[in-house]
Amino acid sequence: MVLLTALWKTVIAELVAAELFHRYPSCRVLMMTPTKPLALQHRESILRHLKLEREEVATVAGETSERSMVWDNPKVRVITATP
């Protein structure tokens, strides 16, 4: 979605993720952001608002090998990442 700054895009994404986890308990969510600081900010927001453990939310903003390692981890339910 494209909205101006401070119009609750992250909260909307968190609500969608919560609904997906409710309907499909084994699903995963990928949140793409343009910068690493924003990906880290989204991770902290998700941890604050959803009932997930720290190991269930990962951030990837680097090497391809790191991305595949995170994606292959069955404990990770949410990934915030840069393109």
Q: What is the pLDDT of residues 2-51, one digit of tens each?
A: 788 889 999 999 999 999 999 999 999 999 999 999 999 999 999 999 99
Name the residue among 66, 77, 64, 68 with its Cα closest to residue 14: 77
How do beta strands 57-60 and 29-32 pair? unpaired
Q: What are phi and psi of 3, to 5 degrees?
A: -140, 160
Predicted TM-score of the model (pTM): 0.88
Question: What residue spans define the domains of the chain?
Answer: 26-81
